[in-house]
Amino acid sequence: MKRIIPYAHDLIREIVQPGDTVIDATCGNGHDTLFLSKLVEGEGKVHSFDIQDKALANTSILLKENHVTNVELHLDGHENVDRYVVEEGSVRAAIFNLGYLPGEDHSIITKPETTIEAIKKIQPLLVKGGRIVLVIYHGHEGGQEEKESVISYCTQLDQKLYDVVRYEFINQINRPPFVIAIEKKR
């Protein structure tokens, strides 16, 4: 079985093509941003968001080390995605890693209200067959609330418009992360 991050990446890799526009809603240390930039190649575009200077600095270093030039870094919350990406039906995929920046201040976390707002704003931006992939870390303070909010929101999505799946390991201790993927129907 696939671990959580490889599975999340496979969900994106299945649909993203060179030249696509994609979103890393929580750039963190830049690993998903780099992954996305390689998928869309030079003619594609990655919009990468984070609210922490440290996250953008870490991501910028990783991108420079890998000679990446197709990324726009945004020091802004993912709930403001519509300030940077405005064309409906222009985004092939978006990925979120919810929680906190690894190795940094654990009190700075993603919040249910901004995450839900970001999902709502990305949905009309998706092409048909496009996906939003959420890796949900919930073992920290505030994580359980965000998990429940995201599940509640996704459960209510119209099945005529979206398919939603959940992938998780149910026999692991310490509240392991899991994936929710939303696909806009064709």
Asked if the model's pLDDT at residue 73 lies above 90, the reply is yes
Number of Cβ within a 10 Å radius of residue 50: 27
Structure token digits, residue 112: 């249910």
Which pLDDT belongs to residue 102? Answer: 87
Residue 178: its pLDDT value, please? 96
Cα dihedral 113→147→178→180 (10° resolution) = -50
CATH of domain 4-184: 3.40.50.150
Burial readout 142-174 (b: 16 or more C-beta within 10 A, e: otherwise) = bbeebbeebbebbeeeeeeebebeebeeeeeee
15-50 per-position pLDDT tens digit? 999 999 999 999 999 999 999 999 999 999 999 999
What pLDDT shows up at residue 103?
86
Contacts of 125 (CB under 8 A, 6+ apart): 81, 82, 85, 87, 88, 89, 90, 91
User: What is the predicted pLDDT for the residue at 186?
Assistant: 79
Task: State the pLDDT confidence band at 63, using cuts at 50, 70 and 90.
Answer: very high
- The pLDDT, as a whole number, for residue 80 is 98
Which residues, 6 or more positions from 158, have their beta carbon under 8 angstroms from its beta carbon?
none
Q: What is the pLDDT of residues 143-157, one digit of tens each?
A: 999 999 999 999 999
**β-strand 21-24 against 178-184: which pairing, if any?**
unpaired
pLDDT tens track for 83-121:
999 999 999 999 999 999 988 888 999 999 999 999 999
Q: Model-level pTM?
A: 0.96
What are the angstrom distances between the C-alpha of 133 and each of 13, 141, 163? 11, 22, 12
pLDDT at 105: 86
What pLDDT score was predicted for residue 68?
97
